Structure 1
Amino acid sequence: MTRRMKALACTAPLHDLDARKGMLDWVDAGVYQMAEIALHMIDKVTIAMDFDSGADHERMINKVTPFVAAQAPGRPNTEHARVAGWVLDNLLNVGTVDRGFRRVYGELDEGGTYRRRAFDFKLLVERAGTDGQVYLRATDEAINVLVGALDTDVESAQVAAELKLEHLISSGRLAEAKLAAEQARYRTVQFGETLRGRLDATRRDVRAVDWEREIPELLDSALRHVEARFRAESAILRDITAARDDTEDGEQKRRAAELVDIVGDCIRRHTQLQARLQSAGAVFRAEQDRQQFSGPAKRAAIDLYGQLLTPILEQPVGTAARPLEAYFRAAAGIRPPTATSLPSLVSLLLRPAPERAKVVGEIPEPQLAPSEDSERFSEEHWRMADELLDLPEVGRELSGLLAEAAERDPDLARLVALRAVHAYSPEVGAAVRSGQGRMLVAVATGRTIETEVYGGDELLLTSAEISSETGTAEDGTAAPADDGASQEEVLR
């Protein structure tokens, strides 16, 4: 009864997929057979596994997408890929803490009392490979779902599967032989996973695995098993190859070629298994040395589920109260944290802000350094420039003014050039508002200046008188100026 209930429990997550597909709001999933897609996904992951790595997420979705598309050929390919990803996430049980499944079953003990037990299992898991990447791996329960068994002795099942395969090949029943060959390959993968799990447990803690008697016997029996499987599979491979080459039937030839690939993959996996078996002793010795000199653990971790919750639930209330009180008293600490309530939150929000002087404190007086005089032109330069640019009756060209200024001082010539550029299209309104009587005006002559220092358009400079007369209205108030003749009438 227990074995049959566990076998049904392993298939329950697959049936749940079809039961919950109607709840998907992003796709009309009625056309998809989710349990078949899940079996196809487990199949692809199992075949892609080896000792060092597993199956890549994206590759598995890409491999299963054509199978999904065959169920709904009229739907877009993006929907097919999303359905395959949804099935993969549910096989991983994404969203739960331990990403595992649990089913409750019952059994009768020796006294005839019916007790309920919990069966925890996983179908697909994520594990890190030797290259640091995260891969998918199928568990023993998932492989048992594929071959329709549970907790079967792996070595005996492997021998039986290959004997069945040899018999089917010799009788020419290649269609049934393909199914037997696939089941034999699943058992090969499962046997390798068993050994890989023992080696991983050794890397975590050498004391958790019995390397004195159990593991040496397991390694010896595994090496004998691999040696026998090599002989059997090589003979099967020769028979299949001969059947493939001798037959005239195209369908038989195709099935024989598929069997050749499957058995060849089994031989490759047994080769990897043999290499791991031969290096297992070196792994144990290296881990023993590493863990022996690494020192004791600084802090022991507590398994709340296994060490506290499960034993407490099996005890009466009176017996369970004392250890629970001791645990929570130690876990809570000396001072329990203050729980935020609505009155305390309101009082915190309505609390007046502290005065800024108490927060900032005294501000020190900064020590300012005197600024350096960075003016390039002196007062004498400005005076000489005013003399050169005082042109009340006649205009002069800029090139002549620059030559005359350069004879006195090169900086004077630069100041004259700057004032001449500033005089081109001057701001007349600003000069009127500031009360200036005259201003410098420059206009382009159409020629250019080409000297060693300066270059550009030739300018004609003159001094214009600014009229301060304004019109008045009849009531004695100032009349507004005419914008259309402002510059020509203001400048004379």
Structure 2
Amino acid sequence: MSEPAGRVPGVPQPATDVGFAQRVKALACTAPLHDLDSRKTQVQTADFSVYQMSELALNAIDLVTLAMDFDAGAPPEKVITDLAVFAGRQAPDRSDAEHVRVARWILENLLNVGSLDRGFRAVYGMTTGDGSYSRYEFDFKLLEEVPAADGSIFLRATNEAVNVLVGALELDIESAQIAADLRLETLIRRGRLSDAQAAAQAARYRTIQYGEKLRQRLEATERDVRTVDWLTEMPEFIAEAVEHIAARYKAENAILVNITEVRDTADTAPRKLQAAQLVEVVRDCLRRHEQLQAALQGAGRRFRAQQDRQTFAPGSAVAALDLHAQLLVPVLTLAVTDADEALNAYFARSTGVNVPPAVRLLDLFTALVTPPPERELLGGELDEPEIDEVPDEPPFPAECYDLLDDLLDLDVDAPRRLSGLLEEARTLHPDLPGLVVVRVVALAAQEINPALRHKQPTVFIAVDDGTTLDDPEFGGADLIVARAAIEPVPAGDHAGVAMSVSEGVPV
């Protein structure tokens, strides 16, 4: 039998595998944690190389997840304080202030502070059955900042973050919870309490995910009841959740009896401590089941209240105003004084903090309250851009850099003025003065901390003593360019380091 068109003889062609995509996405969720370890040496204001950042990031996600309730989250400062304790265990010789800085740095990176949407993006590809290769974008978040009722901010862990803790992605919560309970019960029966504690913690994470799924659907209902199927999907979901709680109560109470017996009959202190910790974990699971049950019981009431509010809310009265015919054309026929009065009256009433219903505001309101569409399972397909390869031209000729190194090869006791450097540079190369200015301006903004951290004996500096630069091409200050020696100060003297150059040069 001949090979189908597009196939390579003897080479199997994989079909589109959703399981493979889930494994790739699970790997992508851990990338921000590994990235912390790769970037910790790039922090210029401190030396974070002694910390295991990925481990601390896992601790941060764990702290936020366990502090989450159905309607609340984790206070950021409390998370930073608790995370600083873990950082202190990794580097006990460092100061408490540095431990707090490390904790705050990790939390800001997990929130992806500085990005536009506070999210992460991963690009992955899959080979389809016809042998083609398609790329997709996977957008996700690990921690989110959510406003509280009192105006403060608390943190919540996303479903992707919880999956990082349990090592899975997009698994069925119900089946995973049943498997975790069976495994936990078996481990306890066999007396393997260390493994049982890990299984109990994984079961608790699954319980948290179940509550998060219900909370997200209720929040979507409060925004717009039409986005959630309350005719078929939600009644089935609530029925399954109630059945889930009943089964978990039965299983976890039986597990709690077994653990309590192990705790009370343990003959060693470590074993008794492990059993006691297991008791606390299972009791926390039961407490979360009570919260979930209360939320399920009130779900129908919240839906009916939101339905009444959104159905019988007074409609917006949209003014049928034609800006062109009723405002612009008449104003153009008026004198400037009269037109200014009319325009001021219109804009005073159509703009401001409290904007009344105006032209086409209904369209803007509809666009704002419409929830975003559900994400595709594989993510959006990424189009390959067609980019022409254009060789980068260096801003300065290569020989200018060699000349610059020779020109700035200064002794510690021989500082020079910028004006003198520019004058000498013009005799060497016509493009060299511009490169000298760029380099000297960079020296003026240079920090001393990197040189101290790398134990450099000297550092270039550029100092402004108030002298004006007299140059035909460039203006500004006539900086003093010097090489300063870094000299450690003895412990008995003032703390820090001293920099020395020749006499008469202000530093």
On whether the aligned pair clears a TM of 0.5, the verdict is: yes
Q: Does the CA-based 8 Å contact 2:137-2:380 persist in structure 1?
A: no
Aligned counterparts of 1:267 and 1:238: Cα–Cα separation in 2? 13
Q: CA deviation at 1:246?
A: 1.1
Q: What amino acid sits opposite 1:301 in the alignment?
A: A
1:141 aligns with 2:160: yes
Aligned partner of 1:278 in structure 2 is 297
Q: How far apart, CA to CA, are the structure 2 residues paired with 1:174 and 1:313?
A: 47
Secondary structure of the residue aligned to 1:106 is strand
1:22-66 deviations in Å (ceiling 9; x for gaps): 111121111011100000000011000011100000100111111
User: For residues 44 and 87 of structure 1, what CA distance do their matches in structure 2 show?
Assistant: 13
- Matching residue within 252, 260, 268 for 1:249: 268
State the aligned residue count.
314
Q: SS state of the match for residue 242, structure 1? A: helix
Partner of 2:367: 301
Is the contact between residue 52 and residue 130 of structure 1 (CA under 8 Å) also seen in structure 2?
no
Q: Does 1:90 align with 2:119?
A: no
Q: Which amino acid aligns with 1:241?
A: T
Q: CA deviation at 1:250?
A: 1.0
Q: Distance in 2 between matches of 1:152 and 1:118?
A: 20
Q: Secondary structure at the match of 1:19?
A: helix
Check if 1:185 corresponds to 2:204. Answer: yes
State whether residues 52 and 129 of structure 1, in contact with CA within 8 Å, keep that contact through their aligned partners in structure 2.
Answer: no
- When residues 197 and 72 of structure 1 are mapped into structure 2, their CA distance, relative to the original with a 3 A threshold, is same
What is the rounded CA distance, in whole Å, between the counterparts of 1:2 and 1:129 in structure 2? 35
User: Matches of 2:281 and 2:380 in 1, distance apart?
Assistant: 48
**Paired residue for 1:202, among 202, 207, 221?**
221
Q: Does structure 1 residue 54 correspond to structure 2 residue 120?
A: no
Matched ranges for 1:213-232 at <5 A: 213-232=232-251
- The answer to whether the Cα contact below 8 Å between 1:127 and 1:137 also exists between their aligned partners in 2 is yes
Q: Which shows bigger deviation, 289-298 or 10-19?
A: 289-298
Q: What secondary structure sits across from 1:120 in the alignment?
A: strand
Q: CA deviation at 1:281?
A: 0.3
Aligned to 2:350: none
2:147 pairs with 1:128: yes
- Matched with 1:452 is none
- Give the whole-Å Cα distance in 2 for the aligned partners of 1:59 and 1:124: 15
The equivalent of 1:292 in structure 2 is 311
Who is 1:39 aligned against? Answer: 58
Tell me which amino acid in the other structure corresponds to 2:107. L
Deviations 1:284-321 (A, max 9, x none): 10111111123368223279x989xx99986999xxxx
TM-score (norm 2): 0.59
Equivalence for 1:65:
84
- One-letter identity of the residue aligned with 1:197: Q
In the alignment, which residue of structure 2 is the partner of 1:75?
A: 94
Q: 1:293 to 1:31 in 2, by over 3 A?
A: same
1:176 aligned partner, one-letter code: D
Query: Amino acid of the residue matched to residue 125 of structure 2?
Result: G
> Structure 1 86/311 Cα, relative in aligned 2: closer, same or farther at 3 Å?
closer
Are 1:173 and 2:192 matched, yes or no?
yes
Identify the residue that residue 262 of structure 1 maps to in structure 2: 281
State the AA in 2 paired with 1:36: E
TM-score of the pair, normalised by structure 1: 0.61
Give 1:26's aligned residue: 45
Q: 1:112 to 1:206 in 2, by over 3 A?
A: farther
2:138 partner SS:
strand
Question: Of the two, which has the highest radius of gyration?
Answer: 1
Q: Which one-letter code corresponds to 1:21 in the other structure?
A: K
Q: Distance in 1 between matches of 2:385 and 2:157?
A: 39
Query: What amino acid maps onto 2:53 in structure 1?
Result: M
Partner of residue 118, structure 2? 99
Aligned mates of 2:244, 2:151 — CA distance in 1: 31
Pair 1:160–1:315, CA change in 2 (3 A): closer
User: Residue 119 of structure 1 is aligned with which of 121, 128, 138?
Assistant: 138
SS at match of 1:102: strand
Letter in 1 for 2:118: R
Give the superposition deviation at 1:3: 1.6
Q: Secondary structure at the match of 2:139?
A: strand
Q: Give the letter for the 2:270 counterpart.
A: E
Q: Deviations over 1:303-361 (max 9, x none)?
A: 9x989xx99986999xxxxxxxxxxxxxxxxxxxxxxxxxxxxxxxxxxxxxxxxxxxx
CA displacement 1:254-298 (0-9 Å, x = unmatched): 000000000000000000000000100011101111111233682
Cα distance in structure 1, aligned partners of 2:267 and 2:97: 42
Gaps of 5+ in 1: 318-492
* Equivalent runs, 1:315-464 vs 2, <5 Å: none
Stretches of 4+ aligned residues off by more than 4 angstroms: 310-317
> 1:270/1:131 Cα in 2 relative to 1: closer, same or farther (>3 Å)?
farther
Aligned equivalents of 2:31 and 2:384: distance in 1? 31
Letter in 2 for 1:282: R
Residue 131 of structure 1, CA deviation: 4.3
- Contact 2:137–2:381, Cα closer than 8 Å, also in 1: no
Aligned AA (2:28)? A
CA separation of 1:242 and 1:67: change in aligned 2, threshold 3 A: same
Does 1:14 pair with 2:33? yes
Asked if the contact 1:68/1:84 (under 8 Å) is kept, the reply is yes
Aligned-partner Cα distance in 2 for 1:31–1:4? 31
Note the C-alpha offset of 1:247. 1.5
Larger relative CO (CA 8 A, sep 6+): 1 or 2? 2
**Backbone CA RMSD of aligned residues:** 2.4
- Aligned AA (2:190): S
* Deviations, residues 440-461 of structure 1 (Å, cap 9, x unaligned): xxxxxxxxxxxxxxxxxxxxxx
Letter aligned with residue 155 of structure 2: L
Separation in structure 1 between the aligned mates of residue 218 and residue 380 of structure 2, nearest angstrom: 30
> Hey, what's the Cα distance between the residues in 2 that align with 1:7 and 1:126?
22
CA distance in 2, matches of 1:313, 1:265: 43
Does the 8 Å contact 1:241/1:260 carry over to 2? yes
Gapped regions of structure 2 (runs ≥ 5): 1-19, 317-360, 387-507
Query: Residue 33 and residue 316 in structure 1: after superposition, are their counterparts in 2 closer, same or farther (change >3 A)?
Result: closer
Distance of aligned partners of 1:312 and 1:266 in 2 relative to their CA distance in 1, 3 Å threshold? closer
Q: Tell me how far apart the structure 2 counterparts of residues 316 and 57 of structure 1 sit (CA, whole Å).
A: 40
Query: What fraction of aligned residue pairs are identical, expressed as a percent?
Result: 55
Q: Distance in 1 between matches of 2:312 and 2:385?
A: 44
Secondary structure of 2:87's aligned partner: helix
Provide the residue aligned with 1:349 in structure 2. none
Q: CA deviation at 1:138?
A: 0.4
